[in-house]
Structure 1
Amino acid sequence: MNKEEYKRYNRQLILPEIGVDGQEKIIDSKVLIVGMGGLGSPIATYLAACGVGTIGLVEFDTVDLSNLQRQIIYSTSQIGKLKVQVAEQRLRDINPNTNIIKYNNVLTEKNYANIFANFDYIIDATDNLATRYLINDASISLGKKYVYGSIYNFEGKVSIFGAKDGPCYRCLFPEPPNAQNIPGSLELGVFGILPGVIGAIQATEVIKLICGVGEPLIGKLLIYDALDMVFKKVNIRKNPNCPICSKTPNLKIIGNYHKISNLEPKTEEVEKIEVKNAYTIFCNNEHQFIFLDIRDFCERKKTIPNSIHIPIHSLKNRMDELDKFKDKCLIVYCQEDSRSILAAKVLLAYGYKVFVLDGGMYSWMYEKLPLIDNI
């Protein structure tokens, strides 16, 4: 370390558990973060500040206004920009000594080997199950430890998988649940501060692994309840018959994640209808149009009058309820329009005529158009 680094990391250097040797291990380490959203933001920020020598960022998305409530590495002026580019600049501002490697693409079974090979540790900061299972299976097959983290509503979980004689994610959840029962990432409510807590814990666990200090969460699942402010740890046993981390793994399952997707993407183009045009249809009581609300129950304090309600995660199972509207046109809406686009693609594939309400309920409310209380 040079003089500048001694001064920068002074508060860590004086910790006997870390010291010069530990700090040099941190500087020499290479950590990959898969996902630069709510979890990835605090993880990357703290790891760069701590002095991790190389940080890899896997993220395909751009900054959206709806991200800013919890993804603290981004700001309003950066909406529309690539997350990896924005994050790289922010991390360089925090610590110019850290080498940032960007992967502006989706992690897949075709590219994981080339990406993972460059790093010592992997951090799961994703928000979808298909990528989560891929990270697990890929890390185990390549002999990489990885730190798992997940958030939902007011609850977060953290663990370490891939350690010698330790369990993996499939020991906890051998097979993914049925696709119909999986809410997509766009449907999940998240308390804005929660990713900061869980992300900081994930960063802590990585530093502990790097320095070889403390008791990492190997074989333990940490569960955090923000509402009750309770932390609890649950033991996870290694499954001797696990298809991935047992003595006789079945590596053929790597890449077989298509069934985990909740709503398969379709190629059909989705047409949007402006709120004012939709309101004209509403006022004229044009019976060939049906408003379909795909939000979850907890979001429906207010709704457009005479709407049909089928939550997006139940859509495929309840498609028969829409059979009587096959000769009509559905106007699909959610809070904004992201989930509506997904639902519309599914409906198009089933042969329905569909429009997406542009801007969703937010646009309808902004125009002060009629709403009713959902009792």
Structure 2
Amino acid sequence: MIYDFCVVGGGIVGFATAMELLQLHPGASLLILEKENSPGLHQTGHNSGVIHAGIYYAPGSLKAQLCRDGLNASKAFCRDHDLPFEECGKLIVATNDIERERIDALYARAHANGLSLERIDGEELGRREPNISGVAALYSPETAITDFAAICRKMADLVAEQGGEIHYGTTVDNIVEKDTHVEIGAGGNAWRAKKFVACAGAQSDRLAALAGLDVDFRIVPFRGEYFQLPPEKNNIVKHLIYPAPDPSLPFLGIHLTRMIDGSVTVGPNAVVGFAREGYQKLSFDLRDTLDFASYPGFWKLILQYRHHALHELRGSLSKQAYLAECHKYCASLELDDLQPYRTGVRAQAVSREGAAIHDFLIKETKRMLHVCNAPSPAATSAIPIGAMIAQKCGELPG
């Protein structure tokens, strides 16, 4: 048989894409191939759980629009399927005059993106969050928290209910595009599909290369190390607490995040990882390491951000240094409050020129569409990303 669609990748973007394809083409035959034994085990299941409002993104950009649409779509999906979410809101805190200027610029950007943010001074910040100190803050009432892994599992259920065929434990090792279809192989098994979509996350460059595409980027894994506060500190904040981001850096910095289960996490930092799917502190994969270490773009990126990279490394090696970052806005935290928590790995696409690619990167051929980079907040934006991909796939393939 020749399937109408084959989607490789069982994370939230892959299942959102499959769900949207089946909604756009009722009755179509669809195959999902996922190398793990259940959905959402990598970036989907190792993120902060925040439904972002789109404060940081350039006005009019695709990223800003998808995040804004995703904010509403994620909440609606949770309501429709009785999944947990909470509109706890977010405070972006400035701790000095330089950071006050940064949040002023953020306020202007958010306003241009159609977001309703509230400026508050240090006194009002202290009233709303007695354990947080700063000279000013921005309040985003729409920012929420959820469990994206649970959303992904529900999407998988919906895809199966609509007739989608899901194969777990299936690692794709062959992709050949023909004139009328794409041949896909995995461990001796083979399938054919009229349209092929790859949503492979940390493996996106490898899937694209396997399919014969020109891969002018490389995935570099960055570990995001978190800590969890002890249960008696679960009420230390009422909102999500984010630092004022430095616009010259690619990451947002360490923040306090309320989780949907009532706990509070601290993090993440951002350090180079030595395994694309390595969640333990000393995880190492030789192939993954050689992939980025032999890539000139990686060294150009590290050279550009060398001072910040050393700063992040200090926080990884020293819990005291990590705590110092938290003390900038939350002085009451103590070293023993930083308890172990799961680590995330961000699949950062890097260009040959050494630029961190922050926007969506999609490569298309007649029969294939590869999502090579779906940057944060991809989990928030998954449903509109899936709809966009489904539209790009066009009419039901002939």
Q: TM-score, normalised by structure 1?
A: 0.32
More strand by share: 2
The structure whose Rg is larger is 1
Higher relative contact order (CA 8 A, sep 6+): 2
